[in-house]
Structures are given as C-alpha cells and as structure tokens.
Amino acid sequence: MDRRERMRRLLAAYREGRVPEEEAISRLEELSFVRLGHSTLDMARPVRTGRGEVVFAEGKKTEHLLEIVEVFLSRGENLLVSRVREDQLGPLLERFPRLVYHAEARCCTHVASPPPPCAHRVGVVTGGTSDVPVAEEAAITCEFYGVGVERVYDVGVAGINRLLARLEEMRSLRALVVVAGMEGALPSVVAGLVDRPVIGVPTSVGYGAALEGMTPLLAMLTSCVPGLAVVNIDNGFGAGYLASLIARL
C-alpha cells in the first residue's frame, strides 16, 4: 500500500470516528517525517517527488545509520544507501541481510516494490577504468529506479577509436552519463557527436594539476558544446538520478 492510500484510509477512519483526532494527527506526522535523536527522516518525499529519500552513509555514525535504515525497511520502503564506508558495511549487512551490496559503487539497495518498467535505456560512459567506481554509482542509481543501463567503459580520448566503435549504440540511448578525470575532455567530445542529453561527471582521478577533480570540473563547465550539463566532482549518484528522470520523460 503506498503512502497516499495510507493517508486516504487514515482520513476516512478519522471522518467516520474510528480514529481520535490526536491519534490521527500523530499518525499523519509519522507519514510525513520520523524524528530520531540525530535525524529527521523525510517519509513524504515519494508523495512530492515520486521517489523516496536516499541515505548518504558517508560521515554518519554506524549506529545512527543502522537506526535510519531500520525505519525505512520496517515500513516496506525501497532503499538506496550511498557511499557506505568499510567500517559500516559489516554491521549493516549483519543486521539487514536483505540489503544488496554493490562493491564498486559502494552502495546498498533494497527493492521491496519494483518500480514500473522504463521503455528507454541510458548510457554510462567512462574515460578510463579508474573512473568506474563513480560510474557504477551512477549506473546502480539508474537501475535502482528501474532504468536499464548500457555500460561503455574505458573509451577515453587518448584512444578515441574505442569511443567511435560504440557511437551508434550510444546514439540509441535516451541520455548519457559521461565520467572522466584527468583533463575532463570526454563529455565535450561525446556531446559533440550525439543528439542526446549528456551529463558530465568530473572525477578526482588524475595527477597533480588535475587538482582532485577541479580541473575536469572547470573544463566541463566551460565547454563550448551545447547539450552538456555537469554535476559535482565524483557525484555519480546525482548524475544517475538525473539520467533516470530523463529516461522516463
């Protein structure tokens, strides 16, 4: 039963006098948000945006993370936990064995209710294999939201023949997430070759003057190629989320 249906049933019970006013208020609040000592969980996000809250694990205490995950899973929610640290992983999987861990993407997922199928697929492209962890975060995010992914990895501009060999395939996809570190040229090249939206993801991969991703970020932001949008450094999740929305338009 989705959250809207729960609200309808609760309001009907209140109108019919089966639920007292204070209890109705309390239960409506629970459908909107849950207060923990350390966090306030947004339970109404699916009503507003069609998608539930994603839990960003990095920086959280393990005990707090476990408590947060417990709330979502106990309510039968689909759940994506991103940026899971090594020290969090063992306790997380021990307590919630139903979670699926995606090692390269460093995230956990649980799908209680599969999303409706999507007619379109998206592509996730990388310059090199060092960019794959960020790319996998994007790919797993898309798949979590029910959007199929074509992975086109290790096709950077140093060997552009590799990219050209996959070009027709990439042109058949709804949107492309293009992940690159170093000088960050790949998203501009791809955007100049396809008639699809391109989402550039700069990574922190590269030598000194790459400045931990700042150089590819600025290269992508200052690109002259139309049709290219850019997310933050290493933000595979943000790129995957946006690509999955585009796929469903």
Q: What is the mean pLDDT of residues 161-190?
A: 97
Closest CA to 106 of 74, 143, 140, 69: 140
Closest CA to 179 of 153, 197, 201, 149: 201
Closest CA to 30 of 75, 64, 65: 75
97, HSE (Cβ side, Cα atoms, 13 Å): 1
pLDDT averaged over every residue in the chain: 93
Instruction: Provide the token pair at 122.
Output: 């998206």
Task: Give tens-digit pLDDT for 132-142.
Answer: 999 999 999 99
Per the CB < 8 A criterion, the answer to whether 85 and 99 are in contact is no
Q: What is the mean pLDDT of residues 84-101?
A: 97
Q: What is the DSSP string of 179-240?
A: EE-TT--HHHHHHTT-SS-EEEEE-S-SSGGGGGGHHHHHHHHT---TTEEE--TT-HHHHH
Q: How confident is the model at residue 167 (pLDDT cuts 50, 70, 90)?
A: very high
Give the residue extent of every domain in the chain. 32-110, 121-247
Q: How confident is the model at residue 118 (pLDDT cuts 50, 70, 90)?
A: very high
pLDDT of 214 higher than 90: yes
Q: What is the mean pLDDT of residues 17-37?
A: 77
The architecture that CATH gives domain 121-247 is 3-Layer(aba) Sandwich (3.40)
Q: What is the pLDDT of residue 3?
A: 66
Q: What is the mean pLDDT of residues 107-132?
A: 96
Per the CB < 8 A criterion, the answer to whether 110 and 69 are in contact is no
